[in-house]
Structure 1
Amino acid sequence: MSTDYQQAREALGRRLRELRLSAPGGRLTGTVLAERLGWPHSKVYKLEGGRQTATSEDLRAWSHAVGQPDVVGELDARLKGFESHIRSWRRQLAAGHRPVQDTWNVAVDRSRVIRAWEEAVVPGMLQTADYARHIFLRYADLQGTVRDTEEAVRSRMERQRWLYHGGRRFHALVWEAALHALVCPPSVLAAQLDRLAGQVGMDTIELGIIPLGASLRIPTANGFWILDDSLVIAEDWHAELWLDDDESVASYRRVWDTLSESAVYGAGAQNVIGRVRQGLHTC
Structure 2
Amino acid sequence: MTSFQQARVDLGSQLRQLREAAHLSGKELAQRLRWQPSKVSRLENARQTATEDDVVVWAQAVRASPDTTDELIRQAIALLERHDDWKQRHRSGLAAIQEDIRDLEARTKLFRVFEPGIIVGLLQTSEYARHVFRKVKRLYSAADQIDAAVRVRMQRQEILYDRTRTFRFVVTEAALRTALAPPEVMRGQLDRLLAVSTLPNVEFGVIPFDSELPSSPINGFWIYNEALVSVATMTKDLVLREPDDIAFYVRAFDDYAKVAQLEEAGRDIILRILHEYRKQPSH
Q: Report the TM-score, using the length of structure 1 for normalisation.
A: 0.71
SS, match of residue 279 in structure 1: helix
Q: Is the 8 A contact 1:56 1:79 kept in 2?
A: no
- Are 1:92 and 2:83 counterparts? no
- Map residues 41-120 of structure 1 onto 2, 5 A cutoff: 81=78, 84-120=81-117
Flag as ranges the 4+ runs of structure 1 deviating above 4 A. 53-57, 77-80
Distance 1:159 1:255 in 2: 26
The residue that corresponds to 2:126 in the other structure is 129
SS, match of residue 164 in structure 2: coil
Aligned partner of 2:224: which letter?
A: L
Distance 2:133 2:102 in 1: 16
Shift of 1:201: 2.1
Give aligned-pair identity as a percent. Answer: 30
Shift of 1:213: 1.1
Shift of 1:282: 3.5
Distance 2:195 2:113 in 1: 18
Shift of 1:78: 8.9
Pick aligned residue for 2:200 from 200, 203, 219: 203
Pick aligned residue for 1:184 from 181, 187, 194: 181
Aligned partner of 1:173: which letter?
A: V
SS, match of residue 93 in structure 1: helix
The residue that corresponds to 2:230 in the other structure is 233
Q: Is the 8 A contact 1:190 1:282 kept in 2?
A: no
Distance 1:83 1:262 in 2: 32
Pick aligned residue for 1:212 from 191, 209, 214: 209
Pick aligned residue for 1:257 from 254, 257, 271: 254
Aligned partner of 1:131: which letter?
A: Y
Distance 2:169 2:281 in 1: 26
The residue that corresponds to 2:240 in the other structure is 243
Distance 2:200 2:236 in 1: 33
The residue that corresponds to 1:159 in the other structure is 156
Shift of 1:204: 1.6
Structure with bigger gyration radius: 1
Please report the RMSD computed on the Cα atoms of aligned residues, expressed in angstroms.
Answer: 2.2
Q: Is the 8 A contact 2:4 2:82 kept in 1?
A: no
SS, match of residue 157 in structure 2: helix
Pick aligned residue for 1:266 from 263, 268, 276: 263
User: Once the two structures are superposed, what CA deviation does each residue of 1:212-243 show, in whole Å capped at 9, x if it has no partner?
Assistant: 11111211220010010211111001111111
Distance 1:205 1:55 in 2: 35
Shift of 1:86: 1.1
Distance 1:237 1:265 in 2: 29
Q: Structure 1 162/56 Cα, relative in aligned 2: closer, same or farther at 3 Å?
A: closer
The residue that corresponds to 1:143 in the other structure is 140
**Stretches of structure 2 lacking an aligned partner (at least 5 in a row):** 7-70
Aligned partner of 2:83: which letter?
A: I
Shift of 1:54: 6.2
Q: Structure 1 258/127 Cα, relative in aligned 2: closer, same or farther at 3 Å?
A: same
Shift of 1:112: 0.5
